[in-house]
Amino acid sequence: MKKAFTLIELVVAVALLAMVCFFAGTIFKVSINAYRTAGANAEIMQKLRAITDQLNADFKGIRSDAPLLIWFHKNSHPTDPNRYDQIMFFADGDFQSTQLYDEATGEPDNKSGDKLVKGNVARIHYGQAVDKQRDPPRLPEKEEDRLLARRRHILTADPDLEEWPHADMSDFDDVPNERYEHDSLSLAQWKTIEGDAYYSKIIPICFGFRPWVAISDPNTFHKLMCEGVGSFTIQWAYWDSGDDRLYWFPSDDPDGDSSTSDSHFRWIDKNEFGVYFNIPGSIAYSDWYSIDDALFTDKDFSSYPKAIKFTFRLYDSKGIIKEGRTFTHIVYLGE
């Protein structure tokens, strides 16, 4: 007589097989998720290195005797802690353009045989870019879609390039500021430009018109620093002799006690304002302040920042890490 499996044995065997399949599927799913998360973290760390390496290179050569302007912009919505700060400064270095320029017209056209712009001093701007394809151009609503831009103008007297801008700033406009990678003015000329010109031309163009970047437009790629930068915060260090401790300005919670009652933004009573250094005369904008302004008389601010802290939130391109990752990077500017 042939032996056969009983019904109970078959049920047990099927149950064991189902359990093995379930655990195998779970392990496979966990492994896939771990692999995807590791890839997303690797991408974010690659972005972090690209940003910090560029910041280090630029701020290593910062000219502390030249104009420095910082625009602080905190979202006014209480549930959105994002910052959209901007900074413009001058730095020494070994700079060359991303685009090629026509030697006959001085215009960027990126044709074979054209020339690169090269120089040892540059005017550099960092800030999140607006989407050029939107009408009007503005920051993308989704954090993961925002871009960090680095707009760089190499100071050069190359006669083959368009002479821009003129010393009186009469032709300082948003289109050439976005299109060109050079300034015809020397650093000595930039250092003599007074506050009136910043009020009428430079600030509205450099800070009012954020860098235009569109992934679909290669002509804007020379300004693209990094994709997926949801928040970009700039602060500088100052020593409070009363508390005998170091603080970072501006902050919603300077002393770190989780209370915003001492917020610098509350103190100034604005969610957006700018501070400038090394500019002759004063800037007439009510939202821009000299470090010598009466607004700062009760703070032990030095005449020039000793260190600047950058805080930014990075997202991976596939949205694996939903909340992104936040990083802090400090550059020391010296005495």
Strand 212-213 to 245-249 pairing: unpaired
User: Does residue 202 form part of some domain?
Assistant: yes
Full-model pTM:
0.89
Query: If you write DSSP's letter for every residue of 132-155 in order, what string do you get?
Result: TTSSS-B--SSGGG-EEEEEEEEE
Average pLDDT score, the chain: 87
What's the pLDDT tens digit per position in 166-222?
A: 999 999 999 999 999 999 999 999 999 999 999 999 999 999 999 998 878 888 889
Range from 3-17, 79-93, 157-171 carrying the lowest mean pLDDT: 3-17
Domain membership of residue 3 (yes or no) is no
Confidence of residue 104 (pLDDT cuts 50, 70, 90): confident
- At 201, the amino acid letter reads K
Average pLDDT over residues 258-284: 88
pLDDT at 4 over 80: no
User: Is pLDDT of 153 > 90?
Assistant: yes
Q: How many domains does the chain have?
A: 1
Mean pLDDT value of segment 321-334: 92
Question: What pLDDT score was predicted for residue 32?
Answer: 73
Give the pLDDT of residue 155: 97
pLDDT at residue 298 is higher than 70: no
Are the C-beta atoms of residues 154 and 97 closer than 8 Å to each other?
yes
Within a domain: 257: yes
**Residue 61 maps to a domain:** yes
**Mean pLDDT in residue range 5-10:** 71
| Within a domain: 4 | no
* 98 lies in some domain: yes
Residues 272 and 187: beta-carbon distance below 8 Å: no
Q: Is residue 307 part of a domain?
A: yes
pLDDT tens digit string along 19-71?
Answer: 877 777 777 677 777 778 888 999 999 999 999 999 999 999 999 999 999 99
Q: Which of 103-117, 245-259, 321-335 has the lowest mean pLDDT?
A: 103-117
- Mean pLDDT lowest for which of 16-30, 65-79, 280-294? 16-30
pLDDT of 3: 66
Q: What pLDDT, on the 0 to 100 scale, is given for residue 34?
A: 77
Instruction: Give the domain range for residue 212.
Output: 42-332
Tell whether 5 is covered by a domain: no
Side by side, the strands of the sheet bearing 307-314 are 245-249, 229-240, 307-314, 325-332
Instruction: Residue 54: name the closest of 190, 205, 223, 212 by CA.
Output: 223
Whether pLDDT at 308 is above 90 = yes
Q: What is the pLDDT of residue 281?
A: 87
CA-to-CA dists, residue 63 to 122, 190, 278, angstroms = 10, 12, 10
pLDDT at residue 186, as a whole number:
95
Q: What are the distances in angstroms from CA 130 to CA 6, 74, 141, 229? A: 71, 16, 10, 12
Residue 108 DSSP class: B
Choice among 265-279, 286-300, 319-333 with the minimum mean pLDDT: 286-300
